[in-house]
Amino acid sequence: MENEDFQSTEVLDLKARKFTQAGYGFLGLNVVYLIIAMIFIPPFNLGWSAVLSLVAFLLLLGVLTYYLLKGKKRLAQVLAVIYGTRSVFSAYSLIDPSTFQAVPYLLPCLLITFYLLGRAGWNWP
């Protein structure tokens, strides 16, 4: 009886750890993604619309990270599908010479985020 309780607690702890890693990984890798993208974007006027868009992006990241840390499996699965699709499209766009110059640097962020989200959403190793 005690062994079963210990195993179920261990499984829940492992699942919570995967969601914690997915949440913080999602937040960190998206911030890195944003920084890399901002480095490669040509100079532009940082007006109110750009600042508001940046604030909205960061708020959305915060909300999604919060729910990932709460262990929302469906959210992790949906985000994993989105990031998997983005990864495939980015990898395919490397063939085109006119692609955004930051794609080779951004692709690893997408792939790692996809793996962390898939690990939490579908219990990958």
Confidence band of 109 (pLDDT split at 50, 70, 90):
very high
Q: What pLDDT was estimated at residue 33?
A: 92
Average pLDDT, the chain: 89
DSSP secondary structure string, 13-31? HHHHHHHHHHHHHHHHHHH
Model-level pTM? 0.86
Q: What pLDDT was estimated at residue 45?
A: 78
Task: Convert the pLDDT of each residue in 57-81 to its tens digit.
Answer: 999 999 999 999 999 999 999 999 9
CA 79 to chain centre: 7
Q: Per residue in 51-82, is it b (16+ CB within 10 Å) or e — as a string?
A: eeeeeeeeeebeebbebbbebbeebbeebbee
Q: What pLDDT was estimated at residue 44?
A: 77
pLDDT at 93 over 70: yes
Question: 């604030």: which residue's tokens?
Answer: 55
